Structure 1
Amino acid sequence: MTTKTALITGTSRPVGLGFAIARQLAELDYHVILTARDLARAEPLAAQLRKEGHRATALRLDLTDAVSMQEAAGHLARTDGHLDALINNACAPVDFTVMSALDADLDAVRSALEVDVLGPWRLVQVLLPMLKAAPAARIVNVSSISAQQIATGLDLGASLRAPAHSFAKHSLDVLTTVLARALKDTPILVNAVDPGETATHPERGDEGEARPADESARGVIWAATLDEDGPTGELFSS
């Protein structure tokens, strides 16, 4: 039986959502590929999973660097030959303190779009041969409730809280539907998941009511392991 393989972007922090996703997929017997811009931050997390008896690999992958994406794809082609789940979890720094589009730092908006939208888009293109080589691959884009300020007019107590982050995640949700349509004649399902408020930055001291990453990861795991008749092109909140 061929081992299922999952690649997760943005797995550089022990308390991060990416690592929680990687661990839960590893517990489902996936070979998990933990990626981060800084390999030195992803490798100890992969080593921890290997120590627990799981198959885990760390790779450098920068969503602003097309070469690093090609290198990751080349490694995957040589070692596994297929990719069953791609989890686009990496995220640009969030502009939490900005409360209006009129005050947005457009350099931050540009950076967020590059990391949160263009990066995952290019990564899907680069990894598409590996996704198609799997029997029924799944692509999961990690979204945010902030995007709903744009999509539905959700009131988060500001005219547009965290505009760079919100605009980028809204664009990622749109990309999800576009990719799902493009892949409609394949077994590949593409969905976005808003994991909810998650306690991943204890150093900020403002996440007292947020839930642990392992709880928030469950919605992503659900989308990554959908049956063949599962939904595609949708946004879910976990």
Structure 2
Amino acid sequence: MTIKTALITGTSRAAGLGYAVARQLAELGFHVVLTARDVGRAESLAEQLRQDGYAATALWLDLTERSSMREAVDHLVRTFGHLDVLINNASTMPDFRVLSALDADLDDVRSAMQVDVLGPWELVQALRPLLDAAPAARIVNVSSLTAMQIATGLDLGANLRAPAHSIGKYMLNALNTMLARAFEGTPVLVNAVDPGETATHPERADERDRPAAESARGVVWAATLDSDGPTGGLFRDGKPLL
């Protein structure tokens, strides 16, 4: 029997979206691979899943460190030989309180581009043989409504913020489209998901933020699409945003 496998990036906090996604995929029978820059924190979460009877592994993966990608790929090749699901969840919001592109720190912009765009892009390239080896792999790019400020001129009012984060997610959406086209004609489906306002940092959550477990369902939906499912789209809770 072939083991279903899923790798989730940026999985280091119990309250985080990545961990909620990992748990829900584990409940569906996936062997989940939790990855983070701090592998000790990822291992702690993987151990929680194992104690609950699920299959989970932790790996070091830093989207700014090419060597970590090579190590992760080598582990997956040796252990599984394929990858059914890749969740590009890792992100950064270095300028949460910045309200204008004119005030953006371009070092923050470079950081966002590396973590949100270039890192996931390189990771997909590195994992391609494993994705191709799966019966029907799924790639899910975790996006954000903030990107819509650039894509459509959407006015988020009081929520307008984070130009570095916004441009990173905007470019991630463009990468999502390019990858979907690149995998056209194969069983691999690629989609972006906006999880919505989520209480991943309980200490600064407000009443509009929903639990990570609720937001995770839309990501898991995209990760488990049937063969006739969509590709190249941007969704929230299984519904298209564009």
User: How far has the Cα of 1:160 moved from its partner?
Assistant: 5.4
Cα distance in 2 for partners of 1:115, 1:158 equals 26
User: How far has the Cα of 1:93 moved from its partner?
Assistant: 2.9
User: How far has the Cα of 1:94 moved from its partner?
Assistant: 4.0
Once the two structures are superposed, residues 61-119 of structure 1 have per-residue CA deviations (whole angstroms, 9 ceiling, x without a partner) of 00000110010000000001100000000001341100011011110000000000000
Cα distance in 1 for partners of 2:116, 2:66 equals 14
Aligned to 1:78: 78
Aligned to 1:4: 4
Aligned to 2:240: none
Per the alignment, in what secondary structure is the counterpart of residue 20 of structure 1?
Answer: helix
Q: Which amino acid aligns with 1:231?
A: P
Cα distance in 1 for partners of 2:71, 2:183 equals 24
Aligned to 1:30: 30
Cα distance in 2 for partners of 1:220, 1:158 equals 26
Per the alignment, in what secondary structure is the counterpart of residue 211 of structure 1?
Answer: coil
How many percent of aligned residue pairs carry the same amino acid?
Answer: 72
Alignment size in residue pairs:
237
Per the alignment, in what secondary structure is the counterpart of residue 190 of structure 1?
Answer: strand
Q: Which amino acid aligns with 1:41?
A: R
- Using the size of structure 1 for normalisation, the TM-score is 0.97
Aligned to 2:105: 105
* Contact 2:82 2:131 (C-alpha < 8 Å) held by counterparts: yes
Mapping for residues 45-64 of structure 1, pairs under 5 Å = 45-64=45-64
Q: Which amino acid aligns with 1:236?
A: F
Aligned to 1:170: 170
Per the alignment, in what secondary structure is the counterpart of residue 168 of structure 1?
Answer: helix
Once the two structures are superposed, residues 164-218 of structure 1 have per-residue CA deviations (whole angstroms, 9 ceiling, x without a partner) of 00000000000000001011021100000000000011122x4232000000000
User: How far has the Cα of 1:25 moved from its partner?
Assistant: 0.1
Once the two structures are superposed, residues 132-171 of structure 1 have per-residue CA deviations (whole angstroms, 9 ceiling, x without a partner) of 0000000000000000000111111269521000000000
Runs of at least 5 residues in structure 2 that lack an aligned partner in the other structure: 238-242
Per the alignment, in what secondary structure is the counterpart of residue 198 of structure 1?
Answer: coil
Cα distance in 1 for partners of 2:72, 2:37 equals 12
Aligned to 1:236: 235
Runs of at least 5 residues in structure 1 that lack an aligned partner in the other structure: none
Aligned to 2:214: 215
